[in-house]
Amino acid sequence: MPAFTAITPAGLIDLVAERATGLPGYAVIAVDGADAAEPVSFARTVAERLRTGGRAAEVVSLHDFVRPASVRLEYDRESEFSYRTAWFDYEGLTREVLTPLHRDGRWLPALWDESADRSARARIRTAAAGTVLLVAGPMLLGRGLAFDLTVSLRMSEAALRRRTAPEDGFTVTALSEHRNGGDEPDIVVAWDHPDRPAVRAN
């Protein structure tokens, strides 16, 4: 297995964008990371880099594909088991984003409004030719989802606990238990210190 290599933040963005540019047609990239890793911000930076290079790119946050509160919080508000198994609507993500984008270039940017706990009422979008869609959020890997490239922003449990809000501390156990669900990402990033990351690319 390749060793981790130090890389600058800008170099990391360039690496992911270069790999993304090499994907044909409509492509979907997973940016897997705990909320503490800020995967959506990372994905947006990659998307901007892609657009600068002439490739259409969009970002979807997994938090726009959560299940209703009645399901997420069925047991209690701090159930690590629910966070791992029932919090996010991975089936909805496949049905509304991954499958239609790959099939005919259409996708839904959001399914559920997490804060209001109601339908996001978003409209289906038609993607520009060759769009790269970056899906960012926790525990995306190990779900059998049809990604064309996978990036994992990997943090140690100690770093997760330092950077996770106290009220969300219950998620750390779930994230550590899941740990990519047994999948090996295409690009693994050591992300305890985002200002000085290290990377292992397969």
Burial code (b: 16+ CB inside 10 Å, e: under 16) for 43-80 equals bbbbbebbeeeebebbbbbbbbbbbeeeebbeeeeebb
Distance between CA atoms of residues 62 and 93, nearest Å:
8
Instruction: Give the pLDDT means over successive 10-residue stretches in the chain (202 positions).
Output: 89 97 97 97 98 97 95 81 92 97 96 94 96 98 96 95 93 88 92 96 88
**Residues 63, 81, 42: CA angle, nearest 5 degrees:** 30
* Per-residue pLDDT at 88: 96
* Per-residue pLDDT at 76: 74
* Per-residue pLDDT at 1: 59
Question: Between the CA of residue 32 and those of 121, 172, 180, 187, what are the distances in Å?
Answer: 25, 14, 8, 10
Distance between CA atoms of residues 21 and 165, nearest Å:
35
Beta bridge partners of 132: 27, 57
Question: Between the CA of residue 50 and those of 13, 31, 118, what are the distances in Å?
Answer: 10, 15, 33
What's the longest Cα–Cα distance across the chain?
47
Total number of residues shown for the chain = 202
Residue among 109, 94, 110, 200 at smallest CA distance from 153: 200
* Per-residue pLDDT at 78: 78
Q: Per-residue pLDDT tens for 162-174?
A: 999 999 999 999 9
Q: What letter would DSSP give residue 37?
A: G
Question: Which residue shows structure tokens 């790269």?
Answer: 132
> What count of Cα atoms within 13 Å lies in the side-chain half-sphere of residue 175?
24
Q: Per-residue pLDDT tens for 61-107?
A: 999 999 999 888 877 777 888 899 899 999 999 999 999 999 999 99
CB 142 within 8 A of CB 150: no
- Give the predicted TM-score (pTM) of the model: 0.95
- Rounded to the nearest 10°, the torsion over CA 16, 19, 22, 25 is -60
Domains of the chain, CATH where assigned: 5-201 (3.40.50.300)
Per cent of the chain over pLDDT 90 is 85
